[in-house]
Amino acid sequence: MIRLCDETDFGFGWIREEFLRRTSHALVAEGRVWLVDPVDEDGVEETVRAAGDPAGVIQLLDRHARDCASLAERLGVPHHVVPRMPVPGAPFEWRVVRDGRGWREVALWWPEHAVLVCGDALGTVGYFVTRDERLGVHPLLRPMPPRATFEGLTPRHVLCGHGEGVHVEATAALEEALATARRRLPRVVASVATRRRV
């Protein structure tokens, strides 16, 4: 089961209601729709086609395969896996989050709308955040948060691969998440443990 989220004038998202709260996004630029880390479900293709002409499927994390390949094939568009170079026709830039064995990830930056999209680096669901955080760094990245990745960005919107996005004071939420990532790690671990007991 899915529900819509992150509905804006430049696109929308949908969340599969499950523990991982996997979130997918469709970004609409000049009548063309770019899917980011999509999870397929009944009605997704129809909703995407209603928003514009499918342009491509973008996979931000190497292990975030989700339904990227099958949707790209069905829609007849390219499947871009962890892109580093400009994607033809796409108005996006790429910021490297990690580039190592077992974890290759880029973040999508859309300057025109000041939109930042992350696969796993940032999230808003329970296992990413403490109870008083709006946005959190992935627990495994908290010891060495990827501050350089986001340096100089002032997003109005932060969209995540897990959970709903941040649309109010997004830059402040991003800065706080990065600045406090390491010292709040014990609180995240404790928060996750508490949620599992409930």
**pTM of this structure:** 0.93
Residue 48 CA: distances (Å) to CA of 36, 127, 150, 168: 12, 29, 29, 25
pLDDT tens-digit readout, 159-171: 999 999 999 999 9
For residue 1, pLDDT beyond 90? no
Bigger pLDDT: 193 or 8?
8
Please, are residues 130 and 89 in contact by the beta-carbon 8 Å criterion?
Answer: no
Mean local confidence (pLDDT), 44-60: 96
* Type of residue at 191: S
Task: Spell out the domains of the chain, with CATH numbers in brackets.
Answer: 2-197 (3.60.15.10)
Residue 39 neighbours by CB under 8 Å, 6+ apart: 2, 14, 16, 22, 24, 66, 67
